Amino acid sequence: MRPSARTTRIAATTLLVCLVTSGFALHHLDRIQTHVATDEVLFISSPKTVKRLSLGYDGFLADVYWTRAVQYFGTKHHQGAREYKLLAPLLEITTALDPHLTVAYEFGANFLAPPPPYGSGMPLRAIQLTEFGIRNNPDEWKLYYNLGFIYYMELQEYAKAADAFARGAKVPGSHPALKVMAAEMAQHAGESQMAQIMWTTALQSARDPYIRANAITHLRALQVDADITILEKLISVYQQKTSHLPSSFTDLQSAGLLQVLPLDPFGHAYSLVAGRVEVREPDDFPFITKGTPPGYVAPAVRFRPEDLGAS
Amino acid sequence: MPAISIIELEKTYSVGFWRKRPKIALRPLTLNVAEGEIFGFLGPNGAGKTTTLKLLMGLIFPTGGSARILDMDISDLRVKTQIGFLPEQPYFYDYLTPSELLEYYAQLSGVPTPDRRRKVSQVLSRTGLQDAAGTQLRKFSKGMLQRVGIAQAILHDPKVLFLDEPMSGLDPIGRREVRDLMEELKQQGKTVFFSTHILSDAESLCDRVAIIHQGELRGVGAVEDLTSSVEGKAEIVWQGSSIPDSLNSLATECHVVGDTVRAVVREANQDAAIDALRREGLRIISVTPVRTSLEEYFVRKVQVSQTATGVIS
Amino acid sequence: MSARVGYIAANTFREAVRDRVLYNLIAFALLMSAAAILVGQISIGIERLVVVNLGLTAISLFGVVIAIFIGISLVSKEIEKRTLYTVLSRPVQRWEFILGKFLGLAGTLVVNTFFMAIGIFGALLYVAHGFHTADGWIVVALYFIILQFLMITAVALLFSSFSTPLLSAVFAFSLFIIGSFAADLRGFAGMAQGFAHWLVTGAAYLLPNLSSLNVITSVAHQQPISAQLILSNTIYALVYAGMAICGSVLIFERRNLK
């Protein structure tokens, strides 16, 4: 007896109809359910519990949680979020599972510590995390560097920063910049040169794309700040000489103060407006402290794709 | 020296989880089987035949008594090199082919490596499996599996064979083949101990039989002795169709067949029946003794115990 | 000891292969390939770490599942299917049967792990474009994973000697899970008082201690493993497996087969 053709037709058709309908139904379900749930919920947020549940496969789970942390940050960053609530527990679970996952501590220093909208605004928690990392990896110079970084950048506690850099400089194979920064801290704390060294060190030693992009963006901002500082000096000299503000850069050029028209790191000319130097596109330069028009509100940071892809 | 010597062998199970109730599978059994015999172990289903065989094979442990095979205790490992076992409805590793299975069994039986291949192919031909030697056992029919079972039992040339219901599930040709095999084994001087509930097989093959019922031995002996112990009968055939009245009480059966009547009377009543017929002037055609079948003997033994215990199994 | 143990082991191996156990290698190969390809996009900078973590974790979990699923029916299946009748009617000691079954499954797992090791090194080569000397420690991690298999196989075999497959599976998996907490349990025992202390200590020592056999994270970070640890783990695993096998033998030796 062969399979009935009629039954086959009916069953196959019904199957296809059900398949298509289920697709639509799911789509509809997605629309009516509010989007709060998925992103912001960590079912188990205690590092100890997760470690218990890992059945000894800590390393693998750590990698899973690390991947999740990066994706969480990346997604929110891309959406232009102004806060990253889950970043701290995700990084804490990751490091509880694998205390030797250095990149997690680096990520914490870069994105846990800074204030919103750049990061989670939890410098103290970032310090705790990094100290935990140092206890478990006393020979990893990068962690001392991260610690000093947080103290310097977010808390402006220069003495503690110097101390951290000094400890890190003692680790064999550490980046030479740590010694320099420890030594220079007493006299040059707060100066842009220190920041320059720090971000350059970060860029050289990091492989994570977000950390690198962060460093590149900061360095670019420092460049702009440096440029504008010089230009402001020149304007001040001009003013002293001529008792009025220059109306454009050509004025400065004719006064012999400037040779070449200044360009920002993207090759656009700076503008001179009522004696103030401004960048043409402030949105291009997150983190700059000079060159923004009055009343300018910086949007959330978004790293440029070429910065993220740079290796 | 008897080939098989069973002494007061018994098996009682404790059944139940909380309060253990004893279940008697085999009452103390004492039995001897001589070398070169074909011995039939008869009984209805559930009588204890398989239990006895499992005890002899060491698959279950007795709660009393002992047994010896070829004058070695059954717990002696050397016994196993001399015996072959065909279980009831044998199951084999169904992912193996007969060649692989027999090769494996030959290894376990300690057949020396150079002889293995030869013995395996010998036994495959003997049981008619040579064409299916490379097919996985999961594709085999019941009859073919039975052949495999026999093959593995005789593979290592054992002196004593234990066969549990060897004819079960076989078609008439298969059964004939098994019987021929058993005769052949006897010719080779081997001892065959087999259990069955098909009495006609036992009758034609066995030198001696034992009857077991509800775990208890009911009778042992040569077939002729057992059947002759039951009261004999005779069949009387006479001309005509009339049956004298006295024969109704003397005969156990009476049939009119064509223009003759056949009646079966007990041996004791034979003379009285003949006299009755001659008085009536009927012409007697023949008087033939009827051989009592083993079945009769069997049924009697089993019935006796049933009425005695008041239980109908 | 005779060649019979070897024959039984070989047949057990053959059974596993014909049961298509080795097809799990296909799943593993797919997993490692996907990981090797995707890791470059998802986990930049820690590719090697992720490949080693993922690979060794997968080997461990796949193997544990196989050890338990086949182990729990090693004996019970033969009793259920009555294939044992024609085996035990031959000059085979019951303990030889148990030992042969164990070695057969252990051998299957070793062969399986060997092929998976090739997979993991292949993925590593793809991702890291070369090997470091520190990658040699991966072999030690694999050795420990095999020791873990021996312990779990022996435990599954023990349950198989007296219990049904379903119960055996539950017990064996539970022991595997609790075994990873064993170190915690011993710590907990230290804090308990009186009778509870002895009870928990006893349990903690009887349970299979699996945590010290898991060096996956260390090896992923290219940290060396001390010779002392290797020796201690070897002794512990062999002794523990031996214990379970002896238990099996004791039970099976007395068992009336149905």
Contacts of C48 (CB under 8 A, 6+ apart): C124, C127, C128, C220
pLDDT tens digits for range A246-264? 888 888 888 888 888 888 8
Identity of the residue numbered B141: S
- Are residues C89 and B59, on separate chains, in Cβ contact within 8 Å? yes
Question: Given a cut of 60, is residue C214 above it in pLDDT?
Answer: yes
Enumerate domains of chain B plus CATH numbers: 4-228 (3.40.50.300), 231-290 (3.30.70.980)
Element at B13 (helix H, strand E): strand B4-15
Among A58, A59, A209, whose Cβ lies nearest the Cβ of C44?
A209
Beta strand pairing call for B83-86 and B233-239: unpaired
* Helices A176-188 and A158-169, packing angle to 10 deg: 160
Tell me: domain A42-208, CATH 3.30.830.10, correct?
Answer: no
CA distance A68 to chain C (A): 10
Residue A37 is predicted with a pLDDT of: 47
Question: Given a cut of 90, is residue C173 above it in pLDDT?
Answer: yes
C-alpha dihedral (C121, C127, C130, C131), degrees to nearest 10? -50
Identity of the residue numbered C43: S
CA distance C256 to chain A (A): 38
Residue B306 is predicted with a pLDDT of: 59
What is the mean pLDDT of the segment spanning C180-204? 81
Residue B304 is predicted with a pLDDT of: 64
Buried b / exposed e across A148-173, counting CB within 10 Å, b at 16+? Answer: bbbbbbbeebbebbbbbbbbbbebee
- Are residues C217 and A63, on separate chains, in Cβ contact within 8 Å? no
pLDDT tens digits for range C67-99? 999 999 999 999 888 899 999 999 999 999 999
How far does chain C reach from its first CA to its final CA, in angstroms?
27
Chain A residues within 8 A of C44 when measuring between CB atoms: 207-209
Backbone angles phi, psi at A48, to 5 degrees: -60, -45
In whole angstroms, give the CA distance from residue C53 to residue C123.
Answer: 12
Identify the DSSP state of A269.
Answer: B
Question: Given a cut of 90, is residue B293 above it in pLDDT?
Answer: no
Q: Give residue limits of the domains in chain A.
A: 42-208, 214-309
Write out the residues of chain C at the interface with chain A, using a CB-CB cutoff of 8 A: 42-46, 49-50, 52-54, 56-57, 60-61, 176-177, 180-181, 184, 210-211, 214, 216-217, 220-221, 223
Which residue in the block uniquely carries the two structure tokens 């410098």?
A: A123
- The answer, for C4 touching chain B at a CB cutoff of 8 Å, is yes
CA distance C16 to chain A (A): 27
Residue B172 is predicted with a pLDDT of: 87
pLDDT tens digits for range B220-270? 888 877 776 666 778 888 888 888 887 777 777 888 888 888 888 887 888
Question: Given a cut of 80, is residue B194 above it in pLDDT?
Answer: yes
Residue A310 is predicted with a pLDDT of: 59
pLDDT tens digits for range C231-242? 999 999 999 999
C-alpha distances in angstroms, A302 versus A72, A113, A201?
Answer: 14, 17, 22
C-alpha dihedral (B49, B54, B56, B59), degrees to nearest 10? -170
* ipTM computed for the complex: 0.89
In whole angstroms, give the CA distance from residue C117 to residue C127.
Answer: 15
**For chain C, where are the alpha helices, taking DSSP H only?**
3-18, 24-42, 47-71, 76-80, 84-88, 94-128, 137-160, 165-191, 194-206, 216-220, 227-253
Neighbours of A82 (CB within 10 A): 13
Interface with chain C: mutation pick from B108, B123, B159, B163, highest number of C CBs within 10 Å? B108
Confidence grade of residue B279 (pLDDT, cut at 50, 70, 90): confident
In whole angstroms, give the CA distance from residue B60 to residue A156.
Answer: 84
Q: Which of C27, C59, C31 is nearest to C213 (CA)?
A: C59
- Are residues A101 and C42, on separate chains, in Cβ contact within 8 Å? no
- Are residues B90 and C82, on separate chains, in Cβ contact within 8 Å? yes
- How high is the mean pLDDT of chain A? 87
pLDDT tens digits for range A2-48? 788 888 899 999 999 999 999 998 888 877 775 544 556 677 778 88
Portion of chain C with pLDDT greater than 70, in percent = 100
Residue B60 is predicted with a pLDDT of: 94
Q: Give residue limits of the domains in chain C.
A: 3-253
What is the mean pLDDT of the segment spanning A280-289? 89
pLDDT tens digits for range B152-183? 999 999 999 999 999 887 888 888 889 999 99
User: What tokens were used for C128?
Assistant: 């890291």
In whole angstroms, give the CA distance from residue A206 to residue A212.
Answer: 6
CA distance A118 to chain C (A): 22
Question: Given a cut of 60, is residue C1 above it in pLDDT?
Answer: no
Portion of chain B with pLDDT greater than 70, in percent = 95
User: What tokens were used for B109?
Assistant: 């039986």
Question: Given a cut of 50, is residue B313 above it in pLDDT?
Answer: no
What is the mean pLDDT of the segment spanning B69-96? 92
Residue A39 is predicted with a pLDDT of: 56
| DSSP state string for B147-193 | HHHHHHHHTT--SEEEEESTTTT--HHHHHHHHHHHHHHHHTT-EEE
In whole angstroms, give the CA distance from residue A66 to residue A62.
Answer: 6
Q: Which of B119, B110, B177 is nearest to B146 (CA)?
A: B177
Residue A26 is predicted with a pLDDT of: 86
C-alpha dihedral (C167, C169, C175, C179), degrees to nearest 10? -170
Beta strand pairing call for B260-266 and B251-257: antiparallel
Residue A35 is predicted with a pLDDT of: 55
| DSSP state string for B66-115 | EEEETTEETTSTTHHHHEEEE-SS----TTS-HHHHHHHHHHHTT--HHH
Residue B225 is predicted with a pLDDT of: 76
Contacting partners of chain B (3+ CB pairs under 8 A): C
Residue B292 is predicted with a pLDDT of: 67
What is the mean pLDDT of the segment spanning A176-202? 84
